[in-house]
């Protein structure tokens, strides 16, 4: 226990040092920066496609592809907002509704209620069918002579759950509208996604396609430097911190979201130590923490069976980092299933779950040959999955 005097010092120290942050909100994902470095070409491409709306001509529907953190959402929403502003200055009606098909909804009904809400339409809260809601949405926007952009972000997620019929209907909608004209902008991280669409949908939706390339480490540095200008207190970043964040974020593919997260978490770690400065070591700490959180996230959203499998691995491993046999895991898994009241899956199905975990980086698997006795698989728990917090998540989820 700290003595009262040192306790007072403890908080004084904190106050004196102050936070490393200035305007921290600049590091948040939904913050829209003024400048968008290294996306001039993409901003212009989007602008060229959507600008006929300024003359109330219907723009092409189009798709934007690119890996996560390549600026797709930022560039599209910024340009659409900017266009709407310009249009309103010129007395032309242009509107938009944005739906994140991963976060906001997983049904077509949900899609249209979100669109209606975005467009400021009041709907009765119960008793409506999907057709009622889409009908209400379209008749509301058709009251005005306008171009209406529907931005469907992370669209592949909704199509996986709900099929692509609704997209076909959306693209046909203009034939029914008297005043308004609808233009659809689809955004996806999955480059292969359009190939899975019905060819009619594909051709009417991807009249144009843009692919956003990943940023390289130098570009990420520029992006970070731009945003950190007022996100951090003056002199709070030690030399090399921005470079290190950019280098880490460029390792898999140049992901600006990852780079910003690293910098923010590094700042939070520095503040926790009240060191007054963000050091390179804080960036390493941030990288570890983000990886750990990612695993915790994966673990907590797994189906129950997979959680039991993982808990079995953790039990067999018992805190050590060594390879274990999948046979041992299966034995423990069967007993655990009894405890939590689940019917055990076959060894073959458990094997599939293990492959999935391997892909997600929760475990590492290797196949070893046992000479003429055939081959067997050994697995090792990833370091971030062997933590107390992962164990606790599983215990809570399974009630054990
Ligand atoms: N060129 C850029 N300049 C400044 N910030 C950027 C840039 N590109 C992306 N970002 C930021 O990185 C994060 C991820 O960008 P986002 O547009 O959401 O990526 P995507 O939609 O491709 O996954 C957001 O916080 C965004 O503001
Ligand atoms: Mg996005």
pTM equals 0.84
Which ligand 1 atom sits nearest the alpha carbon of residue 71? 17
**Contact criterion met (CB below 8 Å) for 233 and 88:** no
Long-range contacts of 356-365 (CB under 8 A, 24+ apart): 356/306, 357/306, 357/309, 357/310, 360/298, 361/295, 362/295, 362/298, 362/299, 362/310, 363/313
Q: What is the pLDDT of residue 193?
A: 82
Which residue owns the Cα nearest ligand 1 atom 8? 71
Which ligand 1 atom sits nearest the alpha carbon of residue 39? 1
Pocket test for ligand 1, best of 186, 211, 257 (most atoms within 8 A of CB): 257
Element (H, E) at 272: helix 256-272
Element (H, E) at 95: strand 94-100
Which ligand 1 atom sits nearest the alpha carbon of residue 29? 25
pLDDT, tens digit only, all 400 positions of the chain: 566 667 777 777 667 678 999 999 999 988 999 999 999 999 999 999 999 999 999 999 999 999 999 999 999 999 999 999 999 999 999 999 999 999 998 899 999 999 999 888 888 878 899 999 999 999 999 999 999 999 999 999 999 889 889 998 899 999 999 999 999 999 999 888 878 888 888 888 888 999 999 999 999 999 999 999 899 999 999 999 999 999 999 998 899 999 999 999 999 999 999 889 999 999 999 999 998 898 899 999 999 999 999 999 999 998 888 899 999 999 999 999 999 999 999 999 999 999 999 988 899 999 888 777 777 889 999 988 988 889 999 999 999 8
Cross-strand pairs, 188: 65
Give the distance (Å) from ligand 1 centre to CA of residue 279: 24
Q: What is the pLDDT of residue 248?
A: 96
Pocket test for ligand 1, best of 30, 42, 69, 252 (most atoms within 8 A of CB): 69
Q: What is the pLDDT of residue 78?
A: 96
Which ligand 1 atom sits nearest the alpha carbon of residue 256? 12
Give the distance (Å) from ligand 1 centre to CA of residue 30: 9
**Contact criterion met (CB below 8 Å) for 323 and 347:** no
Nearest-angstrom CA–CA distance, 236 and 250: 23
Q: What is the pLDDT of residue 5?
A: 66
**Contact criterion met (CB below 8 Å) for 66 and 72:** yes
Q: What is the pLDDT of residue 391?
A: 93
Which residue owns the Cα nearest ligand 1 atom 16? 71
Cβ of 37 less than 6 Å from ligand 1: yes
HSE on the CB side for 272, CA within 13 Å? 9
Helix 217-231 to helix 256-272 angle (10° resolution) is: 40
Give the distance (Å) from ligand 2 centre to CA of residue 187: 7
Long-range contacts of 234-238 (CB under 8 A, 24+ apart): 234/22, 235/277, 236/20, 236/21, 236/22, 236/267, 236/270, 236/276, 236/277, 236/278, 237/20, 237/277, 237/278, 238/277, 238/278, 238/279, 238/280
Q: What is the pLDDT of residue 99?
A: 96
Which ligand 1 atom sits nearest the alpha carbon of residue 227? 4
Give the distance (Å) from ligand 2 centre to CA of residue 77: 10
Give the distance (Å) from ligand 2 centre to CA of residue 75: 10
**Contact criterion met (CB below 8 Å) for 354 and 363:** yes
User: What is residue 99's DSSP assignment?
Assistant: E
Q: What is the pLDDT of residue 81?
A: 97
Which domains can be identified in the chain, with CATH numbers? 4-20+216-298 (1.10.8.60), 40-212 (3.40.50.300), 302-398 (1.10.10.10)
Pocket test for ligand 1, best of 73, 74, 258 (most atoms within 8 A of CB): 74
Nearest-angstrom CA–CA distance, 364 and 380: 5
Q: What is the pLDDT of residue 3?
A: 66
Which ligand 1 atom sits nearest the alpha carbon of residue 219? 1
């Amino acid at each position: 226990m700290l003595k009262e005097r040192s306790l007072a010092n403890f908080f004084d120290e904190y106050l004196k040092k102050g936070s490393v942050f200035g305007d921290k909100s600049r590091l948040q994902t939904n913050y829209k920066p003024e400048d968008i470095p290294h996306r001039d070409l993409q901003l212009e491409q989007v602008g060229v496609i959507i600008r006929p709306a300024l003359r109330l001509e219907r723009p092409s529907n189009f798709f934007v592809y690119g890996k996560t953190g390549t600026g797709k959402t930022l560039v599209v929403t910024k340009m659409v907002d900017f266009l709407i502003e310009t249009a309103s200055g010129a007395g032309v009606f242009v509107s938009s509704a944005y739906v994140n098909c991963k976060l906001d909804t997983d049904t077509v009904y949900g899609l249209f209620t979100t669109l209606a809400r975005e467009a400021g339409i009041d709907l009765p809260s119960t008793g409506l069918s999907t057709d009622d809601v889409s009908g209400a949405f379209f008749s509301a926007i058709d009251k005005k002579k306008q171009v209406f952009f529907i931005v469907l972000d992370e669209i592949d997620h909704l199509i996986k759950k709900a099929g692509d019929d609704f997209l076909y209907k959306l693209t046909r909608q203009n034939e029914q509208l008297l005043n308004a004209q609808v233009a659809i902008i689809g955004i996806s991280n999955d480059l292969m996604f359009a190939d899975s669409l019905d060819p009619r949908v594909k051709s009417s939706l991807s009249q144009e396609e843009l692919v956003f390339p990943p940023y390289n480490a130098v570009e990420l540095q520029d992006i970070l430097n731009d945003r950190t200008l007022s996100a951090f207190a003056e002199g709070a970043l030690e030399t090399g911190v921005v470079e290190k964040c950019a280098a880490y974020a460029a390792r898999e593919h140049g992901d600006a979201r990852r780079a910003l997260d690293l910098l923010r978490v590094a700042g939070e770690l520095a503040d926790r130590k009240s060191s007054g400065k963000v050091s390179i070591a804080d960036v390493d700490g941030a990288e570890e923490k983000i990886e750990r959180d990612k695993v915790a996230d994966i673990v907590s959203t797994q189906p129950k069976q997979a959680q039991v499998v993982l808990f079995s691995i953790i039990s067999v491993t018992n805190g050590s980092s060594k390879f274990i046999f999948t046979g041992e895991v299966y034995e423990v898994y069967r007993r655990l299933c009894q405890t939590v009241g689940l019917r055990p899956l076959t060894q073959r199905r458990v094997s599939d779950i293990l492959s999935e975990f391997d892909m997600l980086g929760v475990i590492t698997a290797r196949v070893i040959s046992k000479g003429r006795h055939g081959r067997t698989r050994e697995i090792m728990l990833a370091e971030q999955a062997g933590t107390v917090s992962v164990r606790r998540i599983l215990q809570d989820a399974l009630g054990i």
